[in-house]
Amino acid sequence: MKISLQWLKTYVDIKVPSGELARKITFAGLDVSSSCECCGDTVFEIEITSNRPDWLSHIGVAREISAITGRKLKPLPIDKLKPKTKNPAHFKIEIQDKSGCPRYTGRIIRNLKIAPSPGWMAKRLTRIGARTVNNGADITNYCLFETGQPMHAFDLDKLEGNKVIVRRAKKGESIVTIDGVKRELDDSILIIADAKKPVAIAGIMGGLDTEVTDKTKNILLESAYFDPVTIRRASRKLGLSTESNYRFERNVDIDNVVFSSQRAALLYKEVTGADTSAPCIDINYTKKKILKIDADWGRLKQLIGAPISKKEIKDILKALGFGLKENKGKFQITVPVFRRDMRIFEDVVEEVARIWGYERIQQVMPKLKAHIEPAKSALYQAKEQMRKMLTGQGLNEVITYTLLSSKNLDEAKAEKQNRVVIQNPLSAQQELMRNSMLVSLLKVINTNLNRKVKEIKIFELGKVYKHIGKNFTELEQLAVALVGTSYNNWKDRQRGVNFHDLKGIVESVFGQFGITSYKLKIDKNNPCFAPDECAVFISDAKEIAVLGKVNGQILKNFDITEENVYFAQLPVSLIATRMKTEYKYTPVPRYPSVIRDIALVVSKDISAQSALDIIQEIAAGLAVKIELFDLYTGNQIPRDSKSLAFSIEYQSRKSTLTEEEVNKVHSEILAALTTRLKAALR
């Protein structure tokens, strides 16, 4: 909101320079975000928090300055004519919706001489960025910025049936507002109507038909209090927001309604030469109860944590306009009606603290308690550990948007069921929450490849979201993607990344968490991956990883021209819960080990794992390490076969193995391999 310094000075003496004033009111909570010097005036831009509608006017700000500086507010001249509580014979105000409109006043003003606004008024309005039309319309606008009360002037001669009714609109009714837009109404919207038609949307904007024009002679001046929620709903529904509804939504001062009408009447008389002899009609208003708050000054001091004296507290509250009664060390505080934000004792604490000065309060370290629970949950620690380990392996962490388009999810063949749908998305780009991490990483890969970044080793620790029945779930995932080369240097040349690079990363995650019992299962049916290069790892009947080469069609959908894209996804919580936390010492072997090699020729469709399993089984604990050290296919062996070479390290914990012992088990292994896998020795 814009506030003019010269205008403020009409209501309160200000002796400090504008910069000093800006600082003072900022530290009282009126945040001056910028100020602008022009024509001997300073215009402040002030951010006003939603709890202080009483600051949304020059008088409101002047009142605060008066409290801070101790200078008295100057009285504002008004038309002193007392309001009447009954409708006069010739005009009728009828309030049908009393809860939507607890107070409505009208005043008939006759014989206006419509002309441009006088220089002083036009200047003030222009400085704060308001539009000027003519004196008849500008006065209500001026009063809004002066007193904070939005008012409206109807051309009296255009109101039909000599009456206005405050009521809900009926379905099918419409109005053309002064901005020239036709607006459809319904029964959620509060309106002002004459005998025949809507003439204003209550608290938001008047109708075009009844607006004040150059030809207007007589007006009905409305000053009212509308229910904030009703106004807010209507404003939202119509997509229409004005200075007026901004204030009604935040609460205007219901006791100020007549005063503002009296102020406007005086201006109409002085500025337009109008006849203001008819009093304001103020029917059906029952005064609001005055709110009282009990406050304990010891506790007040204690919550702030500063040595504020009782006298200081009293002075501050009095200056802010609060009534004060003291009884046995306790205060009873009477709250002025314009301070509707004040409800409880803690509100009083804030008033005292902010005026006394936040900056005067000491900085004290509290005594924090030691806690038995770890500072980080197991899940949080698991994520930290994964991050450390994966960056150590050369992977970069990414963080991506969790809201995506359904098009993207479909293109990545993400599950169609149980998707989490945003009801009010900003655009189709963000209509769903992701249920797959693949989409997110493919988008990162696409961005990087488009920018000629070709080595893409990335991971993300993020969530996938599901909507199952009435419940929503969100699960932490680790996603890994590899594109580019596994190594690339002058000595070893280069090799592209492959499935086994990815498998290595996944298994080293398991290793990091001490997970040793898991099985690899080939999966030929996962639509996200190439059928021959996809597998899952299973531990205790749960999938703890899915990994593979991304399906070519999906890559095309994401405009990724690189063919070899590898992706893995691991549920972090399943890994965290399987994490080995207790380690027990086993003695380092005391007896020497013996290493023997085996080279087998087997049919190509025999998996390395099946040979490993046999060796493991027969060696029955004597083989401490089995390594595949060579895989060969080529001219030296038959076409449909491959050669697997294993090195087996035998060792016993009980004694030094003799030549005979080793030979025995080794030949048993050879026999098992040759019979079960139809393997030949090389």
Partner 1 sequence: MEEILKKIEQEFEQNFADAQAQAGKLEELKIKFLGRKGQLNTVFKSLSGLSQQDRPVFGKRINELKEKIEKKLNGRLTALNERVSKASADRRPENFDITLPAIKKDTGSVHPLTQVIDQICGLFVEMGFMIVEGPEIETEYHNFEALNIPLEHPSREAFDTFYLENKYLLRSHTSPAQIRFMEEHKPPVQIVVPGKVYRPDATDASHSFMFHQIEGLLIDKGITFAHLRGVLSVFAKKLFGEKTKMRFRPSFFPFTEPSAEVDISCIICAGRGCSVCGQSGWLEILGSGLVHPKVLEACNVNSRKYSGFAFGLGVERVAMLKYGIDDIRLFFENDLRFIKQF
**Residues within window 191-250 making contact with partner 1, judged by CB under 8 A:** 228-229, 232-233, 249-250
Sheet holding 420-421, edge to edge: 403-404, 432-433, 420-421
Q: Which of 194, 183, 125, 118 is nearest to 155 (CA)?
A: 194
Among 129, 161, 392, 514, binds partner 1 (CB under 8 A): 392
**Residue 369 touching partner 1 (CB under 8 A):** yes
- Taking CB under 8 A as the criterion, the residue among 92, 158, 463, 676 binding partner 1 is 463
Q: Which of residues 480-499 bind partner 1 (CB under 8 A)?
A: 489-492
User: Is the CB of 120 or the CB of 487 nearer to partner 1?
Assistant: 487
Nearer to partner 1, 138 or 227 (CB): 227
The alpha helices in 451-586, defined as continuous H runs, are 499-512, 552-557, 572-578
* Nearest Cα residue to 551 out of 383, 436, 438, 424: 438
Q: Is 417 in the site for partner 1 (CB under 8 A)?
A: no
Q: In angstroms, rounded to a whole number, what is the distance separating the alpha carbons of residues 105 and 84?
A: 10
Distance CA 109, CA 219 (A): 5
One residue of 39, 89, 426, 588 binding partner 1 per CB under 8 A: 426
SS3 category, 268: helix
Q: What's the DSSP call for residue 290?
A: P
- Minimum CB–partner distance for residue 557 and partner 1 (Å): 19
* Of positions 20, 50, 74, 195, contacts partner 1 by CB under 8 A: 50
**Closest distance to partner 1 from the beta carbon of 6 (Å):** 24
Of 63-71, 82-90, 464-472, 657-665, the window that binds partner 1 (rule: CB under 8 A) is 464-472
Residue 382: strand, helix, or coil: helix
Q: How far is the CB of 267 from partner 1 (least distance, A)?
A: 29
HSE-up of residue 646 (Cα within 13 Å, Cβ side): 26
Query: With binding defined as CB under 8 A, does residue 298 bind partner 1?
Result: no
Rounded to 10 degrees, the C-alpha dihedral 52/57/60/61 comes to 90
628 CB-side CA count, 13 A: 13
As measured in angstroms, the least distance from the Cβ of 535 to partner 1 is: 24
Q: Tell whether residue 468 is a contact of partner 1 (CB under 8 A).
A: no
Closer by beta carbon to partner 1, 491 or else 654: 491
The pair of structure tokens assigned to 191 is 């309106």
Using the rule CB under 8 A, which residue among 387, 507, 574, 612 binds partner 1? 387
347 binds partner 1 (CB under 8 A): yes
Which span (198-206, 344-352, 573-581, 666-674) binds partner 1, by CB under 8 A? Answer: 344-352
Spatial contact of 591 and 651, defined as CB atoms under 8 Å apart: yes
Piece of 261-269, 345-353, 543-551, 601-609 that binds partner 1 (CB under 8 A)? 345-353
* 302: contact with partner 1 by CB under 8 A: yes
Instruction: Please state, in angstroms and rounded to a whole number, the distance separating the CA atoms of residues 216 and 196.
Output: 20
Q: Pick one of 274, 395, 669, 679: the residue that binds partner 1 (CB under 8 A).
A: 395
**Nearer Cβ to partner 1, position 25 or 528?**
25
Distance of closest approach, residue 146 Cβ to partner 1, in angstroms: 22
Q: Is 402 in the site for partner 1 (CB under 8 A)?
A: yes
What the block records as the tokens of 60 is: 């409101």
Residue 135 · residue 119 · CB < 8 Å: no
Binding status of residue 363 toward partner 1 by CB under 8 A:
yes
570 sits in which H/E element: strand 566-571
Which of 6, 18, 35, 51 forms a contact with partner 1 (CB under 8 A)? 51
The end-to-end CA distance of the chain, in Å, is: 89
Residues 21-40 that bind partner 1 (CB under 8 A): 26-29, 31, 34
| 63 binds partner 1, rule: CB under 8 A | no
CA distances from 378 to 390, 463, 575, 581 (A): 18, 17, 10, 10
| Nearest distance in Å: CB 682, partner 1 | 31
Q: What is the dihedral of CA 544, 548, 552, 553, to 10 degrees?
A: -10
Is residue 562 within the footprint of partner 1 (CB under 8 A)? no
For the chain, the farthest-separated pair of C-alpha atoms sits apart, in whole angstroms, at 127
Residues 428-447 that bind partner 1 (CB under 8 A): 430, 433, 444, 447
- Comparing CB distances to partner 1, the nearer of 306 and 637 is 306
Shortest CB 429 distance to partner 1, Å:
9
Let me know: does 598 contact 607? Beta carbons within 8 Å.
Answer: no
Q: Binding residue for partner 1 (CB under 8 A) from 38, 39, 89, 375?
A: 375
Helix and strand counts by DSSP (H, E) for the chain: 19, 33
- Closer residue to partner 1 in complex, CB, 126/377: 377
Distance of CA 55 to the CA centre of its chain: 27
Distance CA 139, CA 348 (A): 36
Residue 93 binds partner 1, judged by CB under 8 A: no
Between 212 and 572, name the residue whose CB sits nearer to partner 1: 572
How many residues bind to partner 1 according to rule CB under 8 A?
91
Is 16:68 a contact under the CB 8 Å cutoff? no
Which of 631, 626, 618 minimizes the C-alpha distance to 670? 618
Q: Smallest distance, Å, CB 31 to partner 1?
A: 6
By CB under 8 A, which span of 426-434, 493-501, 585-593, 626-634 interacts with partner 1?
Answer: 426-434
If one asks whether residue 309 binds partner 1 (CB under 8 A), the answer comes out as no
What is the Cα–Cα distance from 637 to 660, expressed in whole angstroms?
31
